[in-house]
Amino acid sequence: MSGIRILVDTNIFQFLLEGSEDVSFLVDGAIIYISVINQVEILSWKKFSKAEQSIINSLLDNLIIIHTNNEIAKRAAMFRKSYSIKLPDAIIAATCYLHNLPLLTADKELFKIKEINIIAFNE
């Protein structure tokens, strides 16, 4: 996916950190964005050692993090009402929508959102 811009969901980082070569191939050369929601989810993982957490912090330093704003909040509310999805997922979807970014995810709940471009990853 060299050179394309994508927003990567939290579950994709889990696969990447677990050594998934399929995920590595998908993100290789891509310009990677995440929502601040993804950042919070990743930073709050408890299962990683201090060394692994250091790797995660280095990885996050090399990504483009998109913070929420009023437009993202409005769109997230619309997605929550329309698709009955969790608030974090609605914010991530709204971020993709408003920044015209495809979402790389394994979260099947997000596959139903017709307004965003999903790159589905099947474990």
Does residue 69 lie within any of the structural domains? yes
- Write the CATH number for 103: 3.40.50.1010
**72 to 26, 37, 65, 92: CA distances (angstroms):** 26, 12, 14, 9
How far apart, in whole angstroms, are the C-alpha atoms of residue 54 and residue 48?
10
Note the pLDDT of residue 2.
Answer: 60
pLDDT over 90, % of the chain: 67
Does residue 104 lie within any of the structural domains? yes
pLDDT digits 0-9 by tens, 83-96? 999 999 999 999 99
Mean pLDDT of the chain: 91
Its pTM stands at 0.90
In which domain, by residue range, is 107 found? 35-120
Structural domains in the chain (count): 1
Does residue 6 lie within any of the structural domains? no
Note the pLDDT of residue 15.
Answer: 87
Does residue 111 lie within any of the structural domains? yes
Note the pLDDT of residue 117.
Answer: 97
- Comparing 52 with 10, the larger pLDDT belongs to 10
